Amino acid sequence: MALVDTHCHLDFDAFDSDRAAVVARAQEAGVDAVLNPSTDIANAAKVVALAHETACVCAAVGVHPNSSLEWGAHSADELRALARKPKVVAIGEIGLDYYWDEAPHDVQRKVLQAQLELAAEMELPVILHNREASEDLLAILLEWQAGLRASGSPLAAKPGVLHSFSGDQAMAEKAAAAGYFLGFTGPLTFKNAPELQAIAAQAPLEQILVETDSPFLSPHPLRGQRNEPARVKLVAEKLAELKGLPYEEVAAATSANAQRLFGIGGQQ
């Protein structure tokens, strides 16, 4: 049963010594597509090149909130040019991070806004990072989506994913009701995550994506190790357990969701 890892950073140095083997292990584990978002403009080009070279890898381009200070007058043009390349299926990862606080919050919001505008222009869904910024992020996303709706954009119906969802139940409900997808990663499998597990159990299956965020967030029982896309299976298995559904049904549904949002994967 095919799975799609809709968020991994295969371009990172952590995979420099064995990237091809990591991709091969993912395919052996039934992962037929992976989506690799960028975190800044320099690695956006690297991610696009990796997608070009590797059949099962697709790319997203964007500037992570922790890199917001690098945003300049030409950044939107640079991203636009990269976003037009083959196999670029989303703008990301973008968002707000008030935990690491690498950039002033108003700068983060401005850079997010600029990239939401680019996504709207290119009709590409967004991959959203959120750390301790749920309230601001949700307000910005709902306002952006209202604009999409007003302009008749098809993106309004499936605007993007809240990657590695870390908000509360109320945010999950509001985001899902608006049509956003919720992405779940390794922490779903952790023993100390009852709140996150309850959110996943209640979220609509047709709006859930499974992700690894490799090399980070390795699932239980491999917590603390370097993560890799093959382990997305552990996230899907936990999701099936939480929902009380057969694994095959959850794998098929999350893969269909990846196909619907990003147009990737889909070999069942």
Nearer to Ni ion, 161 or 240 (CB): 161
CB of 186 to Ni ion, least distance (A): 12
Nearer to Ni ion, 183 or 265 (CB): 183
The CB density around residue 174, as the number of other CB atoms within 10 Å, is: 15
What token pair was written down for 179?
A: 């049509």
15 burial class (0-12, 13-18, 19+ CB within 10 angstroms)?
A: buried
CB of 207 to Ni ion, least distance (A): 19
Closest CA to 126 of 95, 148, 172: 95
CB of 153 to Ni ion, least distance (A): 25
251 burial class (0-12, 13-18, 19+ CB within 10 angstroms)?
A: buried
Q: Who's near 15: CB < 8 A, 6+ residues apart?
A: 22, 214, 215, 228
CB of 206 to Ni ion, least distance (A): 23
Q: Helices 134-150 and 169-177 meet at what angle, rounded to 10?
A: 10
Nearer to Ni ion, 40 or 213 (CB): 213
Of residues 51 through 80, those in contact with Ni ion by CB under 5 A are none
Give the binding-site size for Ni ion (rule: CB under 5 A): 1
Site string for Ni ion, 219-238 (x = CB under 5 A): --------------------
Nearer to Ni ion, 60 or 175 (CB): 60
CB of 47 to Ni ion, least distance (A): 11
CA distance 193 to 178: 25
Of residues 83 through 142, those in contact with Ni ion by CB under 5 A are none
Of residues 195 through 214, those in contact with Ni ion by CB under 5 A are 213
Tell me which residue has its CB nearest to Ni ion: 213
CA distances from 104 to 97, 113, 148 (A): 10, 14, 27
Nearer to Ni ion, 5 or 213 (CB): 213
Residues that bind Ni ion (CB under 5 A): 213
